Amino acid sequence: MLRGMDRLNRWLVKLCGLALVAMVASVTLGILVRFVFSHLDIHISASWTEEVSRYLMIWTVFIGSAVACRRGKLIGVEALITYLPEGLGRTLKYLSLWLTVVFYGVLCWVGWQWLAFGQSQTSPVLELPLAFVNAAMVVGGVLMILNTLALMLETRVNGRDIRNASIDDEIETALAQTDAQPALGGAKP
């Protein structure tokens, strides 16, 4: 399951990257049409650019958040978890992750309702079914649940401390290098 989720997440990161490139291109084209071409008396209609960039942003946020769940990279205040004794802090972290999974479940439920509501509506300019846009909430919620469960499973299987799940190899290397360097004002080599 962990390898499958990691493989899927690599594809999702690439998909988010492509969506960001398309979003930047859409916004840039909208700016050029509205502010540059109109001053040059070149009249092009590109009213679709705002809608495209908005819908790409919605999908990118939900998919990107799901990928961030896998590594524990979503924003959170962890001062209490690191301050408490190890066992209690770990238990509290798992409890918070389970509550987060419940929240993602509610997100899926609400998203499903919005998806059903959007079946009969279309977007104003592109005339896309709004169900396509609202599906981002359901897909993102399911992926967030799976990635959070994968994070908890990985820490249990590998014996890692769940409180340090957001610390990746790059940060660990930087922290180790900082600890190995002499303190400021110390003896010079």
Secondary structure in 3-state letters for 160-174: CCHHHCCCCHHHHHH
- For tokens 């009213």, the residue is 47
pLDDT of residue 61: 96
Residue 174 within a domain: no
Q: Do 108 and 30 meet the contact criterion of CB atoms below 8 Å apart? A: no
Domain count along the chain? 1
Query: Taking 90 as the threshold, does the pLDDT of residue 82 lie above it?
Result: no
Residue 181 within a domain: no
Q: What is the distance between the alpha carbons of residues 42 and 136, in angstroms, rounded to a whole number? A: 36
Residue 124 within a domain: yes
Residue range(s) defining the domain that contains residue 154: 2-163
Residue 182 within a domain: no
Residue 189 within a domain: no
Burial 146-168, CB ≥16 within 10 A → b, else e: bbbbbbbebbeeeeeebbebbee
Q: Give tens-digit pLDDT for 34-73.
A: 888 888 888 888 889 999 999 999 999 999 999 999 988 8
Q: Give tens-digit pLDDT for 138-165.
A: 999 999 999 999 999 988 888 777 777 7
**Mean pLDDT throughout 174-188?**
61
**Mean pLDDT throughout 158-179?**
69
Residue 177 within a domain: no
Q: Do 163 and 82 meet the contact criterion of CB atoms below 8 Å apart? A: yes
pTM score: 0.81
By CB atoms closer than 10 A (0-12, 13-18, 19+), residue 61 is: middle
Q: Give tens-digit pLDDT for 93-125.
A: 899 999 999 999 999 999 999 998 888 899 899
pLDDT of residue 114: 92
pLDDT of residue 26: 95
State the average pLDDT for the chain: 86
**Mean pLDDT throughout 168-176?**
63
- For tokens 């997100």, the residue is 107
pLDDT confidence band for 171 (50 / 70 / 90): low
First to last CA, the chain: 50
Residue 178 within a domain: no
Backbone φ, ψ for residue 129 (5° rounding):
-65, 130
Residue 61 within a domain: yes
